[in-house]
Every structure is written in C-alpha cells, then in structure tokens.
Structure 1
C-alpha cells in the first residue's frame, strides 16, 4: 500500500469507516452513505476498491472492518484532518468552516507543510492529539 496514492474520495471513505468504528464500534454501508451524503452503491464501489488495496474487509451484509494497514492509513488521515482543523481554529476560523476547510486541505498539502504546521501547533495538538479526540467530526464532514 505504501506506493499507492489513494484518491481524495477513497481517503474520505476510509476516514469515515474509521470514525464510525470509533464512535459506534461498527461501520455499516448505510451509515457511511448517510455520513458522506452519498448513495449506498457509491459506498459499495468504494469498499470494493479499498478491499482490493487491502485496507478493509467486509462479510456479506456485515459491517466494514479495517485491516491493520487500513487502520494505520485511516488514523493518519484523521490525524491530518484534526491537526488542520485545530490550526484553522487557532487562526480564528469558526469550527464549522475549519472542519470543512480541513477536509479539503488534508488531501493536498505536502508532508513538509503538514510537518511545519504540526511543529507550529506543538505536540499537544499534533496528530497524537487525534487519539484523544472522540470520532472528531461526529461522523459528518
């Protein structure tokens, strides 16, 4: 998976699976669809792609599970989002706009830029802080 760059859409799906599992213990296709405001066939297609990449597993009609690699990648995506949201809030951006903008920014900023933001924010608000966050965005971007 290291060499595979996920599309923004697949990152969003993977992140949502992770957040739903954190918040509710399970990520069901219908909940993923509702949280991302997409139709269930779109979720099913994305899950097929994520399965091919070895990031998720799913039994027929069952919840979506993250593989070990999927867990690692999803946590990194969520941590990027939380870092950027905290950064924007510190700048004075409202929480709702910070959440929306962080969702866009998390997909395009370089590792170098993210690293500098993390250095600026300090360890209490960097990616490690994401572990303390409750399914941060309340399962809705």
Structure 2
C-alpha cells in the first residue's frame, strides 16, 4: 500500500511498464494498455501531475518524475512478486495469476507483502526442495489427499 488509490497505482504501474519497453509513453499507449479512453488518461495524468508523480508537456509524451519512478517501481515489484507467488507456488495458470496479482496488489499490508516476498525467495532458493514441495502441494490442491511427510507428526497421525 503506497497511500495512493488503486486507480493512481494502476496508472503509475502502466506508465512504468510501457516505459520499460519504449522510449516515450503517449496517452494513446496508456489508454490502450488499460482499456480506457484517451480523455480518461488525460484526466488521470493531470491528477498524477498535481501529485508530483508525472510530467507532461501539452500534448507531449508522459514521463514519470523521480518520485513517480520510485513509487511505480515499488508497485511493479509488488505485482511481480504476487504473480510469482500465484504462478510458481500456487501453480495457477499465468493468465489467472496475472489477474489475481492485479487485484490483490493494492490491498496487502506491508507485513503480508514482506512475508509473501520471503516465501517466494525461500521456495526459489532450494530447487530440490522446491520441486518436491510443489509436486506435493499440487497433488494436494488437486485431490485433497496429503502425501505423508517423512518424520512429520501430521503424516504419522494420518497413517494410524
């Protein structure tokens, strides 16, 4: 949570992502990416400009300010982390993971965001354990049946 509205965050993230792929960001690029009208983008850019997050010369391209760049990079990193969690750890289809990351990214507390980031880093850090963990989780998610863990009291209790 950045203290900005979901709409402001969506515009900042979109400006950031478009800027990663091309030299200049135009109103029509943002409108197309967000599926909104160009007048909606113009109004949003005015608000972002008033907040010191973007600069735009009349009818010119849009640039994130240093402050806007910092906030947008944070939003984008949060989105990427959530996408990784949903797709890599939960095994969701990438399209579903993308949609869910877009929805959830605006509502996480800093504590929850940090824990999810640590979870993604932890699972990514050990490939052998990651594969076994994710295979067992996928089996459980699909069938509801647990594969007993070696040395796990829960696994031993289930076998009795």
Pairwise CA RMSD:
1.5
In structure 2, the residue matched to 1:82 is 80
Unaligned runs of 5+ in 1: 126-141
Higher relative contact order (CA 8 A, sep 6+): 1
In structure 2, the residue matched to 1:10 is 8
| Aligned equivalents of 1:103, 1:123: Cα separation in 2 | 23
Q: Larger radius of gyration, structure 1 or 2? A: 2
> Shift of the alpha carbon at 1:109?
0.9
Give the TM-score, by structure 1 length. 0.83
Unaligned runs of 5+ in 2: 125-160
In structure 2, the residue matched to 1:93 is 92
Over 4 Å off, 4+ runs: none
| Aligned equivalents of 1:77, 1:23: Cα separation in 2 | 17
SS at match of 1:60: coil
In structure 1, the residue matched to 2:129 is none
> Shift of the alpha carbon at 1:25?
1.7
Give the TM-score, by structure 2 length. 0.73
